[in-house]
Structure 1
Amino acid sequence: MNRPARWRLLSDLHLGVSDDDPRRPGKMLPEFLHHQVLEASGPQQHVVFVGDTFELAGFAEDESLTRLESILARHRETFQTLRACAARGVQLHFVCGNHDVELARPSVAARLSSLLSPVEPGQIRVHPWFLHVPHVLVAEHGHQHHAPHRIPELLRTAVSGTDELDLPPLAAWHAQPSSSRLSRAGAVARACLASERAERRVRELAYGELLQAESLRLELDPAAVRDLARLSRFRTVSALPRTATRMVLAAAGRSIASEEAPAAAGRVARTLEAHGSGVAWYVSGHTHRALESALEACPTRYVNTGTWCSDVRGRGPDQSDRRAFPYAVVDVARDGNTSGGLRYWRPDGG
C-alpha cells in the first residue's frame, strides 16, 4: 500500500536579486503557497520547483552562497513562506535547472536547507539531475535535452562541487555581456568543443561510477540510469547553428521556444518502461511553454509547467492572462493510482 500524497510542481520563477519582473513571481509565489498548500489539509504534501527557481549560475562557490542569501533576502515574503511550509511538514524539492545549476553544489544545497528548514533539514531536498518517485513521476528541468544548455557532466558538480565544468554554449555567450560579439562567438565555439569532450568523458568508467551512485539515490536500476544519461547528446554540427540562431534573436530582443521537450519526454518515459520502471507522469519546464499531452507509444502523461516569469512562450491561458500561473498536480491514492494534470492558479481565486 502507498502513502497518499499530493504533489504540486512549478518551474521557471527566475528569482534574482532584483524584483523588476512585471509578473512579480516573487510576490505571487507566497500567495499561491498560502492558499494552495498551507491552508490545505489531507495527505502528505510535496512542492517541487522544477528548475530555474533562482538566477544562480556561473558563479564561484563563495559567490553562489552569497547570491543565494541575497535572493532570499530580496524576496523576504517568499523566504518566510517557504520556511512556514517546511515547518508545517511540507516536503520541498528543488530540481536544478540551467539557471540555478549551482544548487547542485553540496555547500549551496546545504545552505538552502539550513536557511529554509534549520530544525529539520531533511524537509529540503535538492535534485541535481531529476526527481524520481517510483511508478508515480519523474521531474527534470529539461535543459539536458537541449544542446545549447546541456551540461554533459552535470553530476560532477553534485559530487565534488567542482569549478571545472565548462559552460554550455548559450551560457558562454551570456557570460561576457560587455565583450565584443566576435570574442563572445569565440567563447561559444570553445564551449562547443568542450561539450564534445565532456560527452566522451560521460561514457568513461569514472563517470559511470557517478551514475552508479546516482542510481541508488534515484531508486533506479543502474542500467536504466546509464541509458537515461545517454538519451541526449551534444553534437557541435547540430548545436552550433541552433545556438547561433538564439544568439541573433536574443540580440534583437526576441526568443524562440524549443519543440524538443515532448520528444525528450517520450524518450525518457519509454526508457523507464523498458527497464520496468515506468511512471504515470513526466514533468519538465525550461521551454516556458505550459502544456499537457499524451506521449507516443507510452502510457506516461507529459506536463510542462511553463513559467511564472514574464517570458511566456506558450499558447495557454497564461499568454493572454498574465495573472494565470501554471503548475502541475499529481495526486497519489492509497492503492497507488494517480490523477492530476496541468492547472492554472490566479491570485483572485479564479
Structure 2
Amino acid sequence: MSLTAQWRLLSDLHLGVSDEDPRHPGTILPTFLHDEVLAASGPQQHVVFVGDTFELVGLTEDESLARLESILARHGDTFGALKACAAHGVQLHFVCGNHDVELARPSVAARLSALLSPGESTMVQVHPWFLHVPHVLVAEHGHQHHALHRVPEVLRAAVNGTDELDLPPLAAWNAHPSTSRLSRAGAVARACLASERAERRVRGVAYDELLQTESRRLALDGVAVRDLARLSRFRTVSALPVAATRMVLTAAGRRSAGEGAPAAAGRFVRTLEAHGSGVAWYVSGHTHRALESALEACTTRYINTGTWCSDVRGRGPDQSDRRAFPYAMVDVARDGTTSGGLRYWHPDGG
C-alpha cells in the first residue's frame, strides 16, 4: 500500500518544570521521536500531541510564556528532538487540553512555534479546540465534554486574539491548593457562575462569528462547527454532584470507573456524518485510559491515547508494564483509505 501520510498521536505527558514523574515522559519522548518518527521515510510524517502536553493552567499571559520556556529548558532532550522533527519536515500539532489550555493564547502559541521551528513557523500548529483531517480523523483532548474541565469560550482567546481565558471549576479549585477550603470553594462558585454565563454566550450571535472563522480553519461547514460547539454544556446543578463524588473517591484512594468510549465521542462523529464530513478515526485523551473500540451507530473507530505519565488508569498493558507507552497510529493511503489503531511503544523494543 502506497502511503501519503502517517499520523502518530499521543497525549497527557504533563511535562512540567520538574522531572519527578516515575515514568519520566520527558526522558522517554526523545527516543520515541528519533526511533519512530525521524527514522521513518517516505510519506509525510505528522506527530499530534492530543492535549495536556504541558502543565500550563491558571497562569497569566506573561506567566504562561515564562513557564513554557522553563518547561522546554528543563526537558532539553525533548526540546531538541521536537526541533529536529520540525527541521526535518515533520509536522507538529498541539491540541489544547485542560492542563495546557494556555496554548490557546495567540502569544503562547506563537512562542511555542518560534522555539520549536524558528525558521518555518508553519511546521508547528496549535489547535485550540480540535484537529480535523477531512475524511481521515478528528482529535480533541476530550475535556470540553467534561463539565468540571470545560472551557466554553476557548475560541474567544484563540480567534479574537484577546488573550482572555476563564478557569473551569476544577482548575479553580486546584489553582491555589495552599489556601483554605472555604476560599477554594468560593473560587469554584465563581468559576461555575462564569461557566454558566459563558455557555449562554456560546449560543449567541457574537460567538457564532468566531465559530465561522474557526470553521474555515478546520475546513468544515459552519453549521457543523456550530452544532459541535453545542454538543456539550456546563450546568452547575449536574456538575457539583460529580465534583463531590470525585472528591470522595479521591479521598478514599479510588477512581471512578468508565472503561468504554464516552457517549460524547459518538455524538461528535455522528454530527460530522450528518453534515457529510464523516471520518475514519476519532482520537482523544484526558481519561488516562488507553483504549480502542467501535462507536455506536457509525463506522468510525475510537482511540483514547491514554497517558505517558505515571497516573495510568484502565486495564491496558501500560498498567502492568510501566515501560509501555500508548499512542495512536493512522496511515493514509493514496486512494484515501486508512489503517492503524492503538499501539504501545517500548523503549527496549518489546
**Alpha-carbon displacement from aligned partner over 1:8-51 (angstroms, at most 9, x marks no partner):** 00000000000000000001100111110011112000000000
- SS where residue 225 of structure 2 aligns? helix
- SS where residue 299 of structure 2 aligns? strand
Aligned equivalent of 1:294: 294
**Relative to structure 1, is the Cα distance of residues 164 and 143 closer, same or farther in structure 2, using a 3 angstrom cutoff?**
same
User: 1:283: how far off?
Assistant: 0.2
Is contact 2:106–2:163 with CA below 8 Å preserved after alignment?
no
Is contact 1:86–1:117 with CA below 8 Å preserved after alignment?
yes
- SS where residue 256 of structure 1 aligns? coil
In the alignment, the residues of structure 2 paired with residue 152 and residue 318 of structure 1 have an alpha-carbon distance, to the nearest angstrom, of 32
Determine whether 1:275 maps to 2:309: no
**Alpha-carbon displacement from aligned partner over 1:273-309 (angstroms, at most 9, x marks no partner):** 0000000000000000000000000010000000000
> What does residue range 94-105 of structure 1 map to in structure 2 within 5 Å?
94-105=94-105
Structure 2 residue identity aligned to 1:102: E
> What does residue range 296-315 of structure 1 map to in structure 2 within 5 Å?
296-315=296-315
Aligned equivalent of 1:81: 81
**Relative to structure 1, is the Cα distance of residues 242 and 276 closer, same or farther in structure 2, using a 3 angstrom cutoff?**
same
Aligned equivalent of 2:167: 167
Determine whether 1:112 maps to 2:112: yes
Q: Aligned-pair RMSD on alpha carbons?
A: 1.5
User: 1:248: how far off?
Assistant: 3.6
User: 1:189: how far off?
Assistant: 1.9
**Relative to structure 1, is the Cα distance of residues 103 and 83 closer, same or farther in structure 2, using a 3 angstrom cutoff?**
same
**Alpha-carbon displacement from aligned partner over 1:67-102 (angstroms, at most 9, x marks no partner):** 000000000000000000001100000000000011
Aligned equivalent of 1:157: 157
Structure 2 residue identity aligned to 1:4: T
Is contact 1:106–1:160 with CA below 8 Å preserved after alignment?
no
Is contact 1:324–1:344 with CA below 8 Å preserved after alignment?
yes
Tell which deviates more after alignment, 250-259 or 339-348: 250-259
Aligned equivalent of 1:197: 197
> What does residue range 46-61 of structure 1 map to in structure 2 within 5 Å?
46-61=46-61
Is contact 1:291–1:305 with CA below 8 Å preserved after alignment?
yes
In the alignment, the residues of structure 2 paired with residue 289 and residue 3 of structure 1 have an alpha-carbon distance, to the nearest angstrom, of 29
User: 1:237: how far off?
Assistant: 1.1
In the alignment, the residues of structure 2 paired with residue 306 and residue 181 of structure 1 have an alpha-carbon distance, to the nearest angstrom, of 31
**Relative to structure 1, is the Cα distance of residues 70 and 38 closer, same or farther in structure 2, using a 3 angstrom cutoff?**
same
In the alignment, the residues of structure 2 paired with residue 84 and residue 191 of structure 1 have an alpha-carbon distance, to the nearest angstrom, of 40
Aligned equivalent of 2:125: 125
**Alpha-carbon displacement from aligned partner over 1:98-151 (angstroms, at most 9, x marks no partner):** 000111111111110111001111100000000000000000000000000001
> What does residue range 33-72 of structure 1 map to in structure 2 within 5 Å?
33-72=33-72
> What does residue range 327-338 of structure 1 map to in structure 2 within 5 Å?
327-338=327-338
- SS where residue 194 of structure 1 aligns? helix
Is contact 2:105–2:164 with CA below 8 Å preserved after alignment?
no
Determine whether 1:147 maps to 2:150: no
- SS where residue 262 of structure 2 aligns? helix
Determine whether 1:209 maps to 2:206: no
Aligned equivalent of 2:228: 228
Aligned equivalent of 1:8: 8
Is contact 2:25–2:309 with CA below 8 Å preserved after alignment?
yes
User: 1:186: how far off?
Assistant: 2.0
Alignment TM-score, normalising by the size of structure 2: 0.97
**Relative to structure 1, is the Cα distance of residues 166 and 259 closer, same or farther in structure 2, using a 3 angstrom cutoff?**
farther
Consecutive unaligned residues in structure 1, runs of 5 or more: none
Is contact 2:116–2:124 with CA below 8 Å preserved after alignment?
yes
> How many residues of Structure 1 are paired with residues of Structure 2 in the alignment?
349
Is contact 1:192–1:240 with CA below 8 Å preserved after alignment?
no
Structure 1 residue identity aligned to 2:140: E
Q: Percent identity?
A: 83
Structure 2 residue identity aligned to 1:49: F
Is contact 1:135–1:277 with CA below 8 Å preserved after alignment?
yes
User: 1:176: how far off?
Assistant: 1.6
Is contact 1:325–1:346 with CA below 8 Å preserved after alignment?
yes
User: 1:164: how far off?
Assistant: 4.3
**Relative to structure 1, is the Cα distance of residues 223 and 160 closer, same or farther in structure 2, using a 3 angstrom cutoff?**
closer
Is contact 2:45–2:90 with CA below 8 Å preserved after alignment?
yes
> What does residue range 311-350 of structure 1 map to in structure 2 within 5 Å?
311-350=311-350
**Relative to structure 1, is the Cα distance of residues 163 and 42 closer, same or farther in structure 2, using a 3 angstrom cutoff?**
closer
Alignment TM-score, normalising by the size of structure 1: 0.97
Structure 2 residue identity aligned to 1:244: A
User: 1:252: how far off?
Assistant: 5.2
User: 1:187: how far off?
Assistant: 1.6
